[in-house]
Structure 1
């Protein structure tokens, strides 16, 4: 989920604002002229019939003509209401864009009228007066150029702003804001055909932008630095104008060469490097920026701290005591969340966001400088939580934050507690990703809950606002992110608190529906509540709400107090999970060079593939309607390219028929062509460059990756070079490739291609005491495992038999380990042998009702036990065995719940050693009853083959 601030655009209670609604023609013009810009700003939120009436073409023409009529006599001081008149037109175009069903498109007369009005204003020298009194009018007019799609016609105005900007403009906040408006117009030129045609034949804008960035370097380090950065960005973005590309290439390199990521000029170095990386990545060597983001991110976020298995931190500049304080605050909040929400610490299904990466920049300025480059986000906000694709095995939930430098010497991480609730809510309450969570009216819940868990009862600002009784509960249930900050956050808080205090049964029902992916049923529940609680809500708002329980922990140890604790982290960081061949990419034949839109052909490579927007997507035809096996191989280059294949549409982590998600770029996956589909789809996802791709119907193997200690295969892999340097702490294990581990917990997953495959995990070397935990169905750990190896030291070996699918491994320690080698050997078993039954009761609590996973023994409770499992299509044999313990048990089975008198299969031998064998069973659920009134310590295990 991403959350950014939005201004409150609700209609003001002030009578002068109310008088604006329902007016037309000259009456509307007169009222707007007398109104404040803030009052006119309320028009941006109009929808429905009110928007249709207010923004009629006749009204917009009347206002445009009024602007034109007053423009020539404008004195540089807005005594005629020009700013409010222009703001109204902008609101009309805004609402028309987002709600065309309410405001139909205007004809050409509106464009002509607006063009004439702006021309009259910009040709009046007084409109260029450098003063705060004029800044509002000038800014609104420059923004209207973009809103009305008049960027080409008024390109001369954009150039005039760039040329005339000087120290007098810089000294005034309003004039800086006005100047910044031209960069929005330039940014949107990407979608404006007239501007692109103009730029192709007239490169004056490129000259003006370049001159601006050369002459305004003094803006570095000032509160107007953003203008210089935006000028560099928009100049560098002009790569997309083909006629300009040679000059843009030269100018961008000149910016990179004349600035540095190591000093005060880093803001413009980053701006130029990011644009070159995005538009011209294949020439990264020319600019000297190949893979620069990776190294810069490692250098910038150099402090690594792990609070727990569920929370890890990467920071630019923290002391240990400050990190410990953050851990303590969020740990306490997490415990409160689980108690208040009654989660049972159980995540929603298909959610693999088992931990959160908290990124903390040193200041809001550093956040704006780096976060966009490292994580691809907008930074005009107070921080951002990125849930990603929680069903993806490789997904990393991440909250990107910054220290509130304006609070120093106090230590305060902005929005820390609020955003952490978004992670917890997404993992334990909201099934699916952010888009799925927003598919119903949930914003009142999402933002209100984050405020409620953070503040608890002590949100005094919200309580005071609630006493105005400005909104009904039924209105808050319909919140959107355009509803304004107060309504989204403070009124959302009140709504959530009200439901918890007065209607907990409804809250439990809401949670049940959200957790089970029943968003339509949730919507029906909310719609059913409707206005039923509104009267009770109004009474509650003015009932004197308690503020005693305060959840906000406002500040931690200052730099001075925390300095003695030092800056050394307790975690090695994310590890070397990428390929690092940053050398210039060369092709073996120019015809193999990757271009967007090219089609892969069998056994012909595509070379030097660079990702754009985090992916490279290709499509190819299955012309012969073949069902052959297909090997997809990637290799070389830098970054981490994951493979996703589909024959049913664009492939992704959530929708695919085959995937390869190992670390780095060197891997092979085997899939099968679909004879029923002509087009097949391939996505390489991640940040990468210089990657080679090969598709073949003949088996191929992955090449070794020097950065990852080898390639795919089933050999020994050898000891890693200098195992003291950790290679990873998370990801997919590859057979025959050693990983080097340090820390307290590392989590891995393994793809098993065939049933009855033997997996052998081995640890060795290093220091500490690391143990192995394996699970067949979900993430492994000390609290969830099917098999383990735990001895003193690091010499552990664990062998399990696994069926096709994803399997999981954890390396854990009660303390810490370092320099430990982990390896995996894979061997397909021969003919199936009778299962070896683990004594599960020696390590696990007894259960009387549970789902069985293949190869995973559980401890059965005394008396009756009911168990079940799903038989997958193609299963040849199922074996269920019991053993260990004392007493006598009987085992009954069937495709419906069996009893001792009604069953399809049974094993009733004397003692505890029972066995059911199902040959060629049908796909579907299968049920077991284990009957043993006097038995204790009996283990039961199902093995599917």
Structure 2
């Protein structure tokens, strides 16, 4: 009996049109992007390298492109090609493979399947071969229940397999004898039986004998080796039938023959036959779901692997990251994952890794092969000459190295000068916004994480391709913040991220402000390293404050959280128990934000008491405060607040305003003072200045409130305009902040420029 599960491999083999039918019926549902999020398990150190200190590994909310595993893929397999080497294949079809797999039936063709559904024996073969086009068989993949059992019981499959054996003896290299319809019926039968074993019944020795006879005859037919479009149309489905029938090992010679003969000049359908060889190879190594004899075939005939590697080197000019050579070449890594094949696989894999560059068009091939050597042949990097790869990759991949200030550095794959400047400004200004909310008294004593390195890959694909090895992290996420040991000299806090390429032409580093808050929170609020803070449930705060600062600083409405507020799913006391293990992403991020916002606005004194305990590492005391001192006494008020928040009345932080400035000149500011009702007409300025004594380390200028849209400019010792400035903050609305480190002494100047006429704004200056 065959298992009733549908393997991932089998699922991909539904014809393009057949898959469309399944999708229309809702049988295949896309995986949710709101999958549960948990902390990544510590990744093993690169073989031969010194293990890094245990990182503070805070997983980032997943990007839309995040994979579900830790292995990098070919560029095409992600559904979004790398910007460095765009794939040239057709867009993926519903089954995840090329839309070229099968063409749609001509509109004028009458694909009446009633005769097939009701026939058996010789009549069944006659009905199939009478179908006017091979694509008429596609709906057969959709059969279920009694219909599936009637059409695809073993006796029916044996009849058609025997007919294929007979017809193959005279195969003319085209579909003139309707051999394609017979192949597709058998393909559909294997698929439907695997999906509906209870209805169809088991497949046993009679079918195995018949299908072997059929495939033997087809691949022995001289015209099955024709390099023509006509032959390829049937050949590509016959290759897939090898995999459908689990006869991968028996026909390893066919794999060898196709790979040894392939060139870039082959017509499209022949190229597709080689693409389907990838499935035969991949399933052949999937020993978890059954041994198909493929490994044994490779052990018996080492020339298969040699031909396979030669296929790659002979067609190396085709490599672009998503091509057939890359995808099949990547599978060579499986050789070093199997004990009995490792000896023959090591020199082949080593040659390819060292033959082709690690970046650019060949990067997907080389990095996937490196993944196999690191994960499946661990501790043997000297064999492959890859022990220093993590260090070598950094300058090769991250070609941009920019210093914002003494505390902030950006390493990037591809960022413009303006993108770098804007990112620096965003983070520096967020620093001030964080301290305004938290009201801390400086870093936690002994915390040496005085600087943060932001690593920005060009997109998720490049992040998944390189970050796993460069930084020893999991990449099935949206990025990772590593705090390391903040008490260790030389420790480097690092946020490893990628550009949100799906938002282009707008530029955004995915979760930038969220993750920068993690750095600030770890430095100013949470004693010790990440593991120390996880001794009791603190995730409601850790992720909640990151979401709150990220959204409030950017002035964005957190629509997803506000929607959740209307559902009233959780009590506040329940949220205090949130961990990565007991919660999904909605509870961790949306509800963490709601809990933190409520506490900051409604009970700031409790937040201050809680942070006082977090800052000295009194995790038990903090837990007691949450579960006993507070307990459930805020639950009812929290529920009321959620109702108001769902109606977009979430409230604001308690007022903490500086005193009014006292100078007679309304343009003049002083230390820690504000001016209200600042206004300017569209295109005009509100000019301001203040005098700074010597030794000022940091000047902060903020604008809030009012209507319209004012942008903030600073220019040191001369008037600030849109054409002459040293720093700017240009968000939508009037919420702007500039933090100037080590400003000059004497008079300094800043201005509000009216992108849109504004009034009622409050401007505040502070320095220390």
TM-score per shorter chain, which class? 0.3 to 0.5
Q: Which has the higher strand share?
A: 1
Instruction: Work out which structure has the larger RCO, using CA pairs closer than 8 Å and 6 or more positions apart in sequence.
Output: 2
Q: Which has the higher helix share?
A: 2
TM-score by length of 1: 0.38
TM-score by length of 2: 0.46
